[in-house]
Structure 1
Amino acid sequence: MSEIVLYGADWCGDCRRAKAWLREHEVPFTDVDVEHDDAARDKAIEIAGGRKNIPVIVLPDGAVLVEPTTTQLAQAIKR
């Protein structure tokens, strides 16, 4: 299984919540900071279909979650 990629920023509450959930459930992920990396920010917007909401979470199967609730994240991970 490939690793999950989470595009987010340290100041983002939803990003912190998603990262905490992933860590708590021992789900490996790559954290990409969109605040300090213009290319990463552009990539996150592209992946999210033009939306600028974060976090943008890319699952190993290619599915994308944009600003998911904890329940949505848990359901997507357990698929």
Structure 2
Amino acid sequence: MEEKLIVYGTSWCGSSRRARQLLDSHNIAYQWIDIDEDRVARSRVEEINHGNRSVPTLIFPDGSILVEPSDKVLAEKLGVPPPKSLF
């Protein structure tokens, strides 16, 4: 089991950036791993997602996993308010 939140993503993925922005805005500690730069991490994401490179993939300290969560779902999991919609 992980000791802290791990976020697997890519630098070019908008969903990965949004997840990181939500975590950062609430000062939530996490380990960022770019699967484009880490072959072992890429394999781990593929294993979790049945061969797919779905990002962001978040692994929580309790062992639970969220894959490509919406801001609302991620905020609920973290127990923080969701970001305000721009629309």
**TM-score normalised per structure 1:** 0.90
Q: Once the two structures are aligned, what percentage of the paired residues are identical?
A: 35
User: 2:20 maps to what in 1?
Assistant: 19
Aligned equivalent of 1:55: 56
Point out the more displaced range, 42-51 or 55-64: 42-51
Quote the Cα distance in structure 2 between the aligned partners of 1:45 and 1:75: 25
* Gaps in structure 2 of 5+ consecutive residues: 80-87
In structure 1, runs of 5+ residues without a counterpart are: none
Which structure has the larger Rg? Answer: 2
Cα RMSD of the aligned pairs, angstroms, is 1.5
Deviation at 1:51, TM superposition (A): 3.1
Summarize deviations over 1:20-71 as a string: whole Å, max 9, x none: 0000011100001100111110101212343321000001111100000001
Do structure 1's residue 39 and structure 2's residue 43 form an aligned pair?
no
Q: How many residues align?
A: 78
Separation (CA, whole Å) in 1 of partners of 2:34 and 2:66: 16
Structure 1 segments of 4 or more deviating over 3 A? none
Q: Distance in 2 between matches of 1:50 and 1:75?
A: 27
TM-score (norm 2): 0.82
